[in-house]
Amino acid sequence: MTNAVEVRHLSKSIEGSPILNDICMNVRQGEVYGFLGANGAGKTSLMKTLYHIIFPDTGTVCLLGETINKGNNPVFSRIGSIIESPVFYSHLSAYENMELHCRYMGAGYENIMETLSLLGIAETGKKAVGKFSLGMKQRLALARAMLTKPDLLILDEPINGLDPQGIIEVRELLLRINHEYHTSILISSHILDELSKIADTIGIIDHGAMLAEVSMKELTAKGIDLETYYLGLLGGGEKNVEPYPHGN
């Protein structure tokens, strides 16, 4: 089976400083992949290179089996994303914002209400998005990413700034989307506990280098919590669980 995301030996420097160093990443189809790293580790930069918002210096990216080259790629229409803070027309309603997104994507309006319902924001009526809580905006961002029923979701820190209830709701929602639609999900966060609750596989990045990709099931079976594993990796300590073989 093709991987949903395959990154091979990707490196990027900005103004002479390396920010991504020989990254390999494999997100399997149908899984939730938690991309874990401290602030500044390189999570957003890698996600931007997937879309070629920033171009890698070396290395390759394959999304849903398609090699991504410079410029637009038809496969992007099968991918939903939240990369950096989502921007909305704050004086417009959720529905109106979704309509504009449909026009941009060349999609019909028929999925709008269903997607807003899925995200629990179908009842917001004419309320301007500028008056939404952060949690509601995050749901709207997810609704926008989900609108075309994508095969892959790429979500950069979608729980940032949410309160505990909001975090739980987004977690449950993503798991539901993953189970019901078999959507592959790549989600980045620096919140270790949260990723351990949602992800099948964890990829750990530090100072622009991918340290390991490891199965949560395997960690759990060995009675190792993600924090212990993470700290062990960063400290160069005993890993106890072998990461997946890395790259080619």
Binding site for ligand ATP (CB under 6 A): 14, 19, 37, 39-45, 190
| Shortest CB 49 distance to ligand ATP, Å | 10
Q: Cα(36)–Cα(43) distance, rounded to whole angstroms?
A: 8
In the complex with ligand ATP, which residue's Cβ is closer, 14 or 221? 14
| Shortest CB 206 distance to ligand ATP, Å | 9
In the complex with ligand ATP, which residue's Cβ is closer, 19 or 142? 19
In the complex with ligand ATP, which residue's Cβ is closer, 116 or 210? 210
| Shortest CB 169 distance to ligand ATP, Å | 22
HEC letters along the chain: CCCCEEEEEEEEEECCEEEEEEEEEEECCCCEEEEECCCCCCHHHHHHHHCCCCCCCEEEEEECCEECCCCCCHHHHHEEEECCCCCCCCCCEHHHHHHHHHHHHCCCCCCHHHHHHHCCCHHHCCCEHHHCCHHHHHHHHHHHHHCCCCCEEEEECCCCCCCHHHHHHHHHHHHHHHHHHCCEEEEEECCHHHHHHHCCEEEEEECCEEEEEEEHHHHHHCCCCHHHHHHHHHCCCCCCCCCCCCCC
| Shortest CB 248 distance to ligand ATP, Å | 24
| Shortest CB 93 distance to ligand ATP, Å | 30
| Shortest CB 37 distance to ligand ATP, Å | 5
| Shortest CB 180 distance to ligand ATP, Å | 29
Cα angle 94, 148, 72; round to 5: 110
In the complex with ligand ATP, which residue's Cβ is closer, 10 or 94? 10
Cα angle 21, 35, 30; round to 5: 120
In the complex with ligand ATP, which residue's Cβ is closer, 121 or 202? 202
In the complex with ligand ATP, which residue's Cβ is closer, 39 or 165? 39
Q: Are 204 and 46 in contact (CB under 8 A)?
A: no
In the complex with ligand ATP, which residue's Cβ is closer, 45 or 148? 45
